[in-house]
Amino acid sequence: MTGPGWISRLVLDSPTPGLKQIPSVAGLVLALLAILLVPGVEMSDPAWGWSGILIVVLATIAAFLLPWRRIPHAWTIALPLTTLMGFGLFRVGTGGAASLFGALIILPIVWIATEEGRRYIAIAAITAIAALQLPYLLGEASWTDGQVLRGFYSPFVYLIFSAILNDLAHRSRLQIASLSSLAEQRASLLAEAEQQARDLAASEARLRESEQFNRSIWEAVVAESVIAVDLRGQVVAWNPGAERMLGYTRDETEGKRYIVDFIDARQLVERTAEFDSSIDPINDHDHFVELISAAREGYGDNAEWTYVHADGTNIPVQLSASPRIDLTGQVVGFIFIGTDLTQAREVNKLKDEFVGMISHELRTPLSSILGYLELIRDEAEEPLTPEQLAYLAVAERNANRLLSLVGDLLFTAQVEAGKFPLERQTVELGEIVAAAVESGRPAAERNGVNLAAELPQKHVVVDGDPTRLAQACDNLISNALKFTGRGGSVTVSLTESENEAVIAVQDTGMGIPAAEIDGLFTRFFRSSTAVRQAVQGVGLGLSITKAIVTAHHGVMGVSSVENEGTTFTIALPRPLGVRRAVEVGGNQMNEESTE
């Protein structure tokens, strides 16, 4: 490294004025050693010489002892200026203009010139002139001496030297600032990298833990079969529950078999035909996903299917199909969760047989009781008192209620046994809905509920059993009236489209918790709101209504907000003849009447 570069580096990197003062002190010490040790080198005027030394010493003491970190930086320039004057006096005392130690002046000039700002170049030059002219200013030399030119020529050289140093110092500062910024950025990036490494290690640990946890759960599920497939229905994962239920190992299925291989072929054909008669799922595995359109749309499909065991036996299962999502949110397959219904069906069969038996046993005595109550009421020879008539009315009302309950139990038993009779005919839905609304009006008036009907002007025709459809409407209206408080409203509407007719029963009642909606159509199910409000019922109405709608190839829906109300809908398919009439734009009323 060059001399000026070394000096600049020392000045720039010194953290305190004391360290910046060291070169001047070192130069003064060398000068004193030369005076003491070199023959012929001595002080010509000790008074000025020692005065200069004292000034430099005082400046050095101030540089080291004063709290410069708390003093504005601009004040530190006083130290090299003072030192410069001290060297000027020392030069006066060691020969004046001819002194050997005039070069010491350059040391504080370096300090001054390397300060930030162009003004310090002028300060360095002016103070150098002043220091070099001290022998003439103090009268120690004659102005006519030819050496006087040194007091002007040397500062001119120092001016050039100071300008170079100032520029080098400025560039050095910029470089140091850039390097410092890069170092800070590097340190920041290094810290971020270290943090990311720690986060990555933690994430990997959590991922391994999560994978182990998921694997443990996967291996622990043995009561249900869990089968994951790709978009074509090919098996990609096969859990121990599927192995136990179907009798195939993971090696025999994953990547080799399709989900349709384990479903009863006849049922698959029948179910597929309901969606699209052109689909042949037995010959084309790709088409099976058409049967789970609900899962494609992003919500689970839940239906009863029949699995076929490896030994050929059939297994009834409740099969839930849900989409399998990758990290980008794309559907990459489906997950099928199957619950064996064999034992549940056996239990339900025994329960249905018991219910049917009890219902038959109860219907006869109940009919007899109602008959005798009617005979007592109609007794003309000994008329009953008003109080007795009131008692009799209570007995009749409760007997009729029991008889209605027995009828519902018998009906549900018929549904479960597959002996659900329908007397199909062309039905005008508007008449059935209007009659159901009129039947419910007395109950609405007793409960203080506004019951309204919104019916279209034209006829809405479907193919169905009028008695059962009327029963379904009665059940929904009765339900809505029971769960709607005084001052509320129940609106029954009928609308139609090209393919279906929709009956909607909307109330402003207590609503149903979202978590309980899936169980609404289960036999004997009662919502928590019904239990809290002590609403009478045994939980058969909705299951019966659902069975009636399903038997008519319809769809039943429900939407509810707790404490705001509930809407039940019945969507029934319209006869093919009516659809054609709509398509060709003919006289719909005439077409319907000819059906």
Structure letter (DSSP) for residue 385: P
Intervals of the chain under pLDDT 70: 1-15, 97, 136, 139-174, 270-302, 348-364, 372, 379-381, 404-420, 515, 518-519, 521, 523-540, 576-595
Class of the domain covering 345-416: mainly alpha
pLDDT of residue 585: 40
- The residue ranges of every structural domain in the chain are 3-184, 221-340, 345-416, 425-594
pLDDT of residue 504: 92
* pLDDT, tens digit (0-9, with 9 covering 90-100), for 433-458: 998 899 888 888 888 989 898 888 88
User: Can you spell out the DSSP letters for 77-137?
Assistant: GHHHHHHHHHHHHHHHHTTGGG-TTGGGGHHHHHHHHTSSSTHHHHHHHHHHHHHHTHHHH
**Max alpha carbon distance in the chain (Å)?**
168
CA distance 64 to 243: 86
pTM: 0.41
* pLDDT, tens digit (0-9, with 9 covering 90-100), for 458-476: 888 888 888 888 888 988 8
- Give the amino acid at 9: R
User: Can you identify the CATH homologous superfamily of domain 425-594?
Assistant: Histidine kinase-like ATPase, C-terminal domain (3.30.565.10)
Which residue is associated with the tokens 């023959």?
Answer: 39
CATH number of the domain at 221-340, out of 3.40.50.970, 3.30.450.20, 2.60.40.10, 3.40.50.720? 3.30.450.20
Is 77:124 a contact under the CB 8 Å cutoff?
Answer: no
Residue 555: strand pairing partners: 571
